[in-house]
Amino acid sequence: MPSEDFVAPALVTLDEPPAERRACIDFLLDLAVDAGRVTDRSAARDALLEREASTPTGLGNGVAVPHARTDAVTAPTVAFARSDRGVDFDAPDGDPATLLFCLLAPEDADEDHLEVLSRLSRSLADPAFRTRLAEADSERTVVDAIREAVA
């Protein structure tokens, strides 16, 4: 699946998200809702919160990737926000997340969902990629960085 299909400027914001984890997940989810990617916000939210409750999605190095598979989305979707103050996602290193992703995929998109998550996770292990996202001055710059990383 081409990365252009699941990331777009409408799914990215450089505005400060809420500092509380659930509110931050709602903030990221609303990017997908507003972009027309979600058919049932409540079901998508439930799937994200259920996943978060089973295993927190803080990866460390200032990164969190709440994610879920749900038929409440129309296509695999990546939403992004960044935070100056950080949001606690129970990362293994204890650091708050400043680079925040939300990955949603339909139930039948298992392989695509896992491949995007895998490629994104590998890219996020690279300090240069994290710096590029942290210093991005526009939504388009973030989209371009994600497309390159996941392609």
Long-range contacts, stretch 22-25, CB < 8 angstroms, 24+ apart: 22/49, 24/81, 24/83, 24/87, 24/100, 25/49, 25/52, 25/66, 25/102
Measured CA angle at 4 (ends 31, 73), to 5 deg: 45
Q: How far apart are CA 123 and CA 117, in angstroms?
A: 10
Classify 36 as helix, strand or coil.
Answer: coil
Tokens of 51: 């996943």
Q: How far apart are CA 91 and CA 56, in angstroms?
A: 7
Q: Which residues are catalytic?
A: 67
